[in-house]
């Protein structure tokens, strides 16, 4: 493979040249060359509609993973880098961002177990490969339908499901049905305990634990969180549990409101069940639709969204979105006309399109190349609207943005979201605040047919809808994050993860646990987000603090936008996230302050 040859060439150069700052540059170039192929292959693996391409991309991903695992445990490369980092004379000649890259690379080597003996290193590489395979197995089954014997399905419900021989197929699509007994049956069936999926999750947790302990860490969570803002799983769990306790009162209030809605349909109802939540949340949205039957989404066609984002980014970041002639891309330019990168928008659902949820992918990171040219950042935004759909939700579109307000970065390892996982989500979560601000909505929204401005009453109803049951939603994600971290910290000696999950839900969930249900086996983030699901909630708290400090008073402030861009976005992974946030806020941040920001967020 060509990339393998290129990798060997860089390795040979690093090993034969005298250790210097150039050694770090060569390692960064090596990382860039690998990721140019690996990121593209991963994108194709997750997004392509043709099985042959998906299969080829999966094979490429596994090949690249094997190559990366071997390079991360290459003793020769590590020794060169260690000599550079330990030599103060060399370090003093390096630029600040090169020093940061050197530290990041050194941590990568050491976390990968480069210090291990040959046999143990080889074993760890095999465990890395096994983890990827188990992740894919688990994720693929998370959305798979459940087949239930037809004789176990109530006769009056059987026609609600697709029949396959003597079975009925139960999917997630019944979660918002207005028919309670249908919702209940579907919930119990879809979330029933699955021995195969349970075995896959146990294997994944066990292999991760073995891999981390081989590398000298207490647990997978302790290893994976080492270079994050939170630093340790204990800190993360303290944050999550404090937040869970802080929102309990608001959750109870929301459950009372939801129960009153349920009692309008079922007067004898005494509590809210897990299968009720989505239905009544959706019912609440329908209640808030304007009298004319219109919807806020009618004022945000794809074109309007693009134009609106362009207007917003021009004002706050002095950055423009410029359509490329083929009509499928958007170029991102700064105020001086320099291209910052390209955004490929894959907006519509199509037959066998694999990615089922809104997402974004990095195809290539920005980097100043050795010949002086610049490798442009290329990112893909994936949304699955129906081709016949004329308009989309501004929030749905913005939620898929990774913060492509990124500026030119010279070093690949520091580009874009190659930073601490619990800061990487902050730019996109912050954009959600813009999408729910009445001033931004009023400035951007135009009806897709008439061109009329977005009426105040529609904005008011939309914002009120967004604020309904926010504490319930937050509690749900807090529970998942606590489960995720706990399982990756303390794998049970008896292998019974169900007991741990049940104990957590009994303590922190206000909605009664359903005996025999195992909804955690449908939680796909155990896969590629293992031990890190907390990071979305952490990022939400930070984004809330930044919004309040910088944009709440004026969301179009160019002064605040430039301050945020210069102090945070400009660095990518080139500065410690905690220092960036504290620089923006002008004060230190603490776990208690982050919890308070979450509470204020759901109560505002």
Cross-strand bridge partners of residue 147: 169
d(CA 233, CA 220) in angstroms, rounded, equals 10
* Confidence check: pLDDT of 266 > 50: yes
Which pLDDT belongs to residue 414? Answer: 53
Judge whether 90 lies within some domain.
no
Overall number of domains in the chain: 1
Phi then psi for residue 161, to 5 deg, are -115, 155
Per DSSP, helices labelled H in 73-194 are 75-86, 88-93, 96-111, 118-142, 180-190
Question: Which pair of structure tokens corresponds to residue 113?
Answer: 């177990």
Q: Rounded to whole angstroms, how far apart are CA atoms 347 and 393?
A: 12
Span of 37-41, 72-76, 206-210, 363-367 with lowest mean pLDDT: 363-367
- Domain membership flag for residue 586: no
Joined together, the tokens standing for residue 9 give 């060439």
The structure tokens listed for 465 are: 């809808």
Q: Answer yes or no: is 407 within a domain.
A: yes
CATH number at residue 362: 3.40.390.10
Helix, strand, coil percent content, the chain, rounded in steps of 5: 60, 10, 30
Instruction: Classify 242 as helix, strand or coil.
Output: helix
> What local confidence, expressed as pLDDT, does residue 572 receive?
72
Q: What is the pLDDT of residues 180-198, one digit of tens each?
A: 999 999 999 999 999 999 9
pTM as predicted: 0.90
Residue 394 confidence class, pLDDT cut points 50, 70, 90 = low
DSSP assignment of 275-330: TTHHHHHHHHHHHTS-TTS--GGGG--HHHHHHHHHHHHHHHHSEEEEE-TTSSEE
Q: Residues 282-307: what's their mean pLDDT?
A: 73
Q: Give the residue carrying structure tokens 């994944």.
A: 204
Average pLDDT over residues 390-413: 48
- 308 within domain boundaries: yes
Range of the domain at 384: 298-420
For 93-106, the pLDDT digits (tens) are 998 888 888 988 99
- CA dist., res. 10 & res. 260, Å (int): 66
Beta-strand (E) ranges in 515-561?
none
Decide if 37 is inside a domain. Answer: no
- Beta-carbon contacts of 16 under 8 Å, excluding residues fewer than 6 positions away, are none
Phi, psi of 566 (to 5 degrees): -70, -35
Three-state SS across 86-97?
HCHHHHHHCCHH
Token pair 């971290």: residue: 485
Residue 434 buriedness (CB in 10 A; 0-12 / 13-18 / 19+): buried
Pick left, alpha or beta for residue 273 (phi over 0 → left; psi -120 to 50 → alpha; otherwise beta).
beta
The confidence score (pLDDT) of residue 338 equals: 75
Task: Give the lowest-confidence range in 399-403, 512-516, 566-570.
Answer: 399-403
Token digits of residue 194: 């699955």
CA proximity to 48, closest of 64, 36, 60 = 60
* Beta strands in 327-401, from DSSP E residues, in sequence order: 329-334, 339-348, 359-364, 367-368, 374-375, 377-385
Whether 199 is covered by a domain: the verdict is no
In a domain, 559, yes or no: no
Q: What is the pLDDT of residues 304-357, one digit of tens each?
A: 888 888 888 889 988 888 887 654 455 666 666 677 788 888 777 776 665 556
Span 24-45, average pLDDT: 90
Asked if residue 29 is part of any domain, the answer here is no
- List the beta bridge partners of residue 382: 346, 359
């Amino acid at each position: 493979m060509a990339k393998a040859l290129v990798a060997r060439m860089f390795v040979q150069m690093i090993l034969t040249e005298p250790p210097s700052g150039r050694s770090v540059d060569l390692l960064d170039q090596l990382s860039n060359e690998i990721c140019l192929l690996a990121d593209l292959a991963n994108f194709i693996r997750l997004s392509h509609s043709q099985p042959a391409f998906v299969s080829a991309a999966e094979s490429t991903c596994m090949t690249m993973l094997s190559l990366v695992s071997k390079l991360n445990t290459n003793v020769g490369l590590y020794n060169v880098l260690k000599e550079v980092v330990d030599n103060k004379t060399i370090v003093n000649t390096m630029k600040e961002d090169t020093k940061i890259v050197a530290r990041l690379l050194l941590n990568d080597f050491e976390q990968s177990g480069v210090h291990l003996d040959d046999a143990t290193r080889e074993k760890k590489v095999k465990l890395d490969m096994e983890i990827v395979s188990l992740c894919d197995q688990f994720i693929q089954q998370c959305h798979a339908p459940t087949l239930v014997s037809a004789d176990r399905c109530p006769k009056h419900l059987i026609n609600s499901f697709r029949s396959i021989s003597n079975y009925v197929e139960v999917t997630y699509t019944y979660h918002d049905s207005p028919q309670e007994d249908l919702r209940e049956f579907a919930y119990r069936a879809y979330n029933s305990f699955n021995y195969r999926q349970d075995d896959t999750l146990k294997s994944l947790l066990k292999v991760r634990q073995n891999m981390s302990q081989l590398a000298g860490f207490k647990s997978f969570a302790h290893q994976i969180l080492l270079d994050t803002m939170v630093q340790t799983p204990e800190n993360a769990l303290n944050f999550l549990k404090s937040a869970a306790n802080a929102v309990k009162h608001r959750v109870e209030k929301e459950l009372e409101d939801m129960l009153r809605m349920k009692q309008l349909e079922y007067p004898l109802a005494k509590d809210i069940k897990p299968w009720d939540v989505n239905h009544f949340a959706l019912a609440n949205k329908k209640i808030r639709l304007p009298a004319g039957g219109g919807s806020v989404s009618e004022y945000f066609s794809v074109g309007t969204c693009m134009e609106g984002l362009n207007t917003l980014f021009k004002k706050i970041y002095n950055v423009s979105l410029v359509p490329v002639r083929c009509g499928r891309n958007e170029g991102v330019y700064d105020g001086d006309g320099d291209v910052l990168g390209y955004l490929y928008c894959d907006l519509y659902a199509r037959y066998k399109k694999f990615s089922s949820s809104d997402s974004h992918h990095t195809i290539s990171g920005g980097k100043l190349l050795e010949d002086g040219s610049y490798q442009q950042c290329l990112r893909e935004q994936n949304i699955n609207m129906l081709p016949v759909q004329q308009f989309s939700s501004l929030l749905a579109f913005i939620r898929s943005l990774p913060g492509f307000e990124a500026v030119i970065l010279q070093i690949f390892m520091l580009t874009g979201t190659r930073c601490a996982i619990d800061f990487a989500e902050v730019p996109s979560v912050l954009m959600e605040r813009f999408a729910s601000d009445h001033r931004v909505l009023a400035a951007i929204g135009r009806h897709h047919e008439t061109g009329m401005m977005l009426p105040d009453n529609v904005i008011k109803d939309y914002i009120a809808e967004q604020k309904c049951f926010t504490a319930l939603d937050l509690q749900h994600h807090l529970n998942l994050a606590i489960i995720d971290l706990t399982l990756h910290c303390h794998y049970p000696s008896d292998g019974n993860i169900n007991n741990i999950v049940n104990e957590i839900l009994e303590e922190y969930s206000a909605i009664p646990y359903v005996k025999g249900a195992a909804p955690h086996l449908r939680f796909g983030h155990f896969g590629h987000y293992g031990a890190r699901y907390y990071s979305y909630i952490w990022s939400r708290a930070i984004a809330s603090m930044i919004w309040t400090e910088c944009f709440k008073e004026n969301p179009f402030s160019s002064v605040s936008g430039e301050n945020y861009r210069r102090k945070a976005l400009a660095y990518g992974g080139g500065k410690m996230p905690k220092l960036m946030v504290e620089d923006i806020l002008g004060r230190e941040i603490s776990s208690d302050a982050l919890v308070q920001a979450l509470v204020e967020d759901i109560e505002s």
